[in-house]
Amino acid sequence: MRPSPLHGPAFEAFVAPARRRPRLWRLMLGGVLAGAVWLATVAFCLRLALARGLGPGDPGLVIAYLFSFAGLAGGAALAARLLGGRGPATLIGPGGFEPRAFAWGALVVAGFATAGALAGALFDDPLRRSLALGPWLRALPLALPALAIQTAAEELAFRGFLLQGLAARFRAPPVWLGLPALVFGALHWDPATYGPNAPLVVANAALIGLILGDVTARRGNLSLAMGMHFANNAAALLLVAAPGPLSGLALWVSSTGPDQPAAFGRLLLVGLGATLACYALWLGWNRRGGRG
């Protein structure tokens, strides 16, 4: 019988380094360590930004927050070394970083993110200009690497360290694929900001986490998921952002925000649809033998 792509040779090679020390307590302690390093880095970066006079809505404050995710990447790498007895490169997968796969993932998601933004505008959501073109272009040399760090760090932590560690201990996909997605989604829980749409925001993030985990498991490498995640967040933070504390880098801001629950909920559903369409496209390409 042909093995499932989720349990094929690429996936087994991806998980193999984590099988050296598969004890659950190591994984849990590693997660605490990675989280502690990240939170300390967030506090340091934000304190430094505020000391320089950067306030809410300032592009520099958003950039500082994104750069703070270097702490999450470093924490995951440290946990892999100290508790897993393996090098940080094993979190990415055999072959290391693959630029072509990253570019392909970013290209596909960028197309659907653009389509989703246009669809949102058609649903009575006219966009308003946030940053002028000049300041926006001047921010990009720092914003793009900061965004790359933020998205890569989340992939290394959730689809690298956590997924690998769970798969080394449990063979059931609902555990090693579903649990990282649920944790990723739960970290987006913010009822103070999103009100009645908070569960939908969590569901959206969890769906993205589930898809990125599936993509990673099928390829046996994080590069494609990194590209997809980067393009998704670039569209949401640099091009068209929802009103809020992370909208300071965006070229445009949606006129519909969390303070309009019904309309904002419809936009979230449009985003869910765009995410599923993007995933279906990738699955179709994968079945036809395409290589991202």
Domain-located, residue 34: yes
The SS3 assignment for 20 reads helix
Lookup result for tokens 């995951």: 76
- Rounded to whole angstroms, the Cα distance separating 68 from 107 reads 26
Q: Which of 107-116, 149-158, 261-270 has the lowest mean pLDDT?
A: 107-116
Q: How confident is the model at residue 257 (pLDDT cuts 50, 70, 90)?
A: confident
Q: Is position 246 within any domain? A: yes
Are 116 and 270 spatial neighbours (Cβ–Cβ below 8 Å)?
yes
Q: What are the φ/ψ torsions at residue 69 (nearest 5 degrees)?
A: -70, -10
Confidence of residue 283 (pLDDT cuts 50, 70, 90): confident
Domain that includes residue 236, residue range:
5-287
Q: Judging by DSSP bridges, how do beta strands 127-129 and 252-254 pair with one another?
A: antiparallel
Separation CA 58–CA 193 (nearest Å): 19
Strand partners, 128: 253
Distance from C-alpha of 178 to C-alpha of 22, rounded to nearest angstrom: 18
Q: Residue 226: its pLDDT value, please?
A: 97
Confidence of residue 121 (pLDDT cuts 50, 70, 90): low
Q: What is the total count of domains within the chain?
A: 1
Q: What is the pLDDT of residues 175-208, one digit of tens each?
A: 999 999 999 999 999 999 899 999 999 999 999 9
3-state secondary structure of 253: strand
Q: Is the predicted pLDDT of residue 290 greater than 60, yes or no?
A: no
Place of tokens 């993110």: 113
User: What pLDDT does residue 138 have?
Assistant: 95
- Does 122 reside within a domain? yes
Count CA within 13 A, CB hemisphere, residue 109: 28
pLDDT for 3 beyond 50: no
Which tokens sit at 240? 């068209």
Report the mean per-residue pLDDT for the chain: 89
Above pLDDT 70, what percent of the chain?
A: 92
Residue 84, domain member (yes or no): yes
Q: In what order do the strands lie in the sheet with 252-254?
A: 127-129, 252-254, 240-241
CA–CA dist 265, 287 (Å, integer): 33
Task: Kindly state the greatest CA–CA separation across the chain.
Answer: 63
Q: Which residues, listed in sequence order, are joined to residue 254 by a DSSP beta bridge?
A: 127
292: in domain: no
Q: Which residue has the higher pLDDT, 3 or 173?
A: 173
pTM, two decimals, is 0.91
Query: Which range among 126-130, 198-202, 223-227, 287-291 shows the weakest confidence by mean pLDDT?
Result: 287-291
What pLDDT, on a 0 to 100 scale, did the predictor assign at position 6? 58
* 3-state class (DSSP) for residue 195: helix
CA dihedral 277, 279, 282, 287 (to 10 degrees): -100
Q: What is the mean pLDDT of residues 209-229?
A: 94
Which tokens belong to 204?
């959206």
